[in-house]
Amino acid sequence: MARRRAFIRVVLGAAAALALALGGVTAAAAEDDPVLTGSISGTVTSTVGGTALAGIEVRAQRNSDAGWHTVVTNASGAYTFSGLADGSYLVRFFDPAGDYATEYWDDARDSLGAQRVAVVDGSAHPGVDAALAPTPTSSISGTVTRADDGTPVSGARVTADGTDGYWTSTLTDGAGRYTLGSLPEGSYVIGFHAEGTDLKRGYWRNASEYSQAEPIVIAEHTTTSGIDASLAAGGSIAGVVTRTDDGEALANVTVNALDMNGEIAAFARTDLTGGYHIDGLPAGSYRVQFAEPGPGLSAEYWENAYSFDAAKIVVVTESQTTTGIDAALETVGYISGSVTKSSDGTRALGRITITSVDDDRHAYFSGASNDGTYQVAVAPGEYRVLFEPFDSDLRAEYWADAFTKASATPVTVPSGASVVGIDAQLDAAAIVAGTVTLDTAVEREVIVEAWSGNQIVGTTFADAQTGAYSLALPEGSFILKASALFHDGTTIAQPQFYDGVATSALATPVVATVGAPVTGIDFTLVAVTNPGPQPKPTLALAAGSIRAGKDITISGTGFAPGASIAFELHSDPIALGTLTADADGALQGTLRIPASAPAGAHTLVALSGTTAIARTALTVTAAAGTGVGTGTGAAGQAGGSAATPGTGLARTGLDAPVAVVAIGVILSVMGGMLVRRRRVES
């Protein structure tokens, strides 16, 4: 869980940096803003005796704003923000005296775990309280040196990544010494990163990878010393970064080398000639990301890719330099429009998600301004635009007037162009609500989905404390499903369909109608700890042999529900197309074997992203003649959906849980910051 939180924390920061570099993921200003009447208020106390805390700095930041609103608690520990614009606010509690630990509402240690306060139509929000714990006093210290000559390493970044989500860092002094102070009790992975040198990263004790590190366990009020590191020199990656439009060299571009787990192994910045040199890399395979290109330019991966999975791999040899890893960066374009309510034409505040048609992991977020307008800077390409309102009485939709990704109208953005008029008029939603009960307190996310056939038309999270949820849907008949994602890595719960059944085929459909909320659609999930190995995806073919140019019928089970699975014919990969798993994780459909496929024994491989997750043998016989069945896309299907090669992508927006969306988006914008972790898809 700590690794997951740490990764998401850094990429959220990187997303903000990228937004600024692109000239903003920005919202257009309103000419006549309404009177600002929203408010947030509460009381701050100590966890020791419940004493009121005066002088605590409370900050509130709206999601779409760069700055903070700041107030200080009075003698009774009370505070109030007034005159707030509509939006979703992050609230932080900080003790300038340092006697109490910083906290975010509601009882979160960092912004990632924080609950936002939604101000809608000038609403008031009392009771946004905090109980602050005394600042912890434990520490970890040590020394960092070079392995080749034992000299101290000055300015090395030392990080502590806690299992409970706590993360901190410091730099070594001139003698290579460091101290990580004010640590809560717990277990920590200690990392050593000599940025800007030829030294490889390392972890305690003598580990080169995060997963190999030996955790340090500390108790309250303790000092742990002697946590030293000896860092060795590594290999390098070098190249030049320019602009596509005029070939001009680009200085001060951040270039990251990401290992196969998506962790930033090392990074560099380009000089005045556009050149860069990333040092300190262990031998292995990397993806190179050009992450902070400057105003008006788009971030990308080598070569000409916009997501981690699509990036071409760079191989590094120990103590050698891999050269020629160059990039020519594109000028961004813009998508803009408005989001209003169809009932009266007034603004509809919410989130806009813009996702590449070719690569769902290449995506952008924006918020609508107070007048309902927005503008988003994007790399040249073809995109789907999803509008998700903050108002639970409105339903989300894609542009233009579509409720599934497959039916969305793509928006094409040329380099440097502005595409305007990408508007949405959001309709009233049909509401389905209920409660998801779980028999465990293990930290988790609980997700409720509404399915229509093989499409997810609505998804939401159940409240972490009460299990309550509410889905905003179009009118129609749907299959509802509840599932849980646990953070401890050892607990699972089998998904459940309404009403208390294990498969979609047995589920009772729920009919949703605008103006007539459906309540009491409840679920009960049963948690199991250490359940043992889980079934892996399996494939079955209608026949073990197929003539080139003909269609082969494929079925499978055990896939992620709603996942778009790409298929290839190996050994020389031939892309065949994609099939989509249904709510039970089963898929079925037909794909065409190209007439050009060589005769002989092959392997049919199913891929999630770039990872092979299932395979089966297939014999291909020679085509009957030339010009027969030469298409390489999918043709026809049953019980699933097929698409042409290149569309085997994870779902987003209305078609996937928000947690999956968030992880996919942030991979596309991760900047050159401190080393963190990335969750690996299976």
List of domains in the chain: 24-40+56-132 (2.60.40), 138-220+222-323 (2.60.40.1120), 332-425+651-682 (2.60.40.1120), 430-529 (2.60.40.1120), 538-649 (2.60.40.1930)
Question: Taking the CB of residue 196, how many other CB atoms lie within 10 A of it?
Answer: 15
pLDDT of residue 292: 84
pLDDT of residue 534: 79
Q: Residue 33 gets which letter from DSSP?
A: P
273: region left, alpha or beta (phi > 0 left; psi from -120 to 50 alpha): alpha
172: tokens are 């070594």
11: tokens are 């990429």
Q: Which amino acid is at 380?
A: P
Q: Residue 384 gets which letter from DSSP?
A: E
pLDDT of residue 295: 86
Nearest to 16 by CA among 457, 666, 676: 666
Chain-centroid distance of CA 516 in Å reads 35
- CA-CA distance, 384 to 86, in Å (whole number)? 26
- The answer to whether the beta carbons of residues 59 and 70 sit under 8 Å apart is yes
Distances (CA, A) of 552 to 136, 360, 567, 590, 638: 62, 27, 12, 5, 12
256: tokens are 């990251």
Question: How confident is the prediction for the chain on average, in pLDDT?
Answer: 84
pLDDT of residue 372: 87
Q: What is the largest CA-CA distance in the chain?
A: 89
- The answer to whether the beta carbons of residues 153 and 145 sit under 8 Å apart is yes
Q: Which residues contact 271 (CB under 8 A, 6 or more apart)?
A: 251
- CA-CA distance, 179 to 141, in Å (whole number)? 4
Nearest to 343 by CA among 388, 384, 395: 395
How many CA atoms lie less than 13 Å away from 244 in the CB half-sphere? 18
Whether the pTM exceeds 0.85: the reply is no
Q: Which residues of the chain have pLDDT under 70?
A: 1-35, 64, 625-682
pLDDT of residue 191: 96
Give the three-class secondary structure for 17.
Answer: helix
Distances (CA, A) of 500 to 50, 481, 482, 525, 526: 43, 10, 10, 9, 11
Nearest to 468 by CA among 443, 439, 448, 492: 448
- The answer to whether the beta carbons of residues 482 and 501 sit under 8 Å apart is no
pLDDT of residue 638: 33
Distances (CA, A) of 381 to 242, 351, 414, 475: 19, 21, 7, 33
Question: Taking the CB of residue 517, how many other CB atoms lie within 10 A of it?
Answer: 14
Give the three-class secondary structure for 655.
Answer: helix
Dihedral, CA of residue 366, residue 164, residue 563 and residue 570, to nearest 10: 120
Give the three-class secondary structure for 224.
Answer: strand
Q: Which amino acid is at 146?
A: R
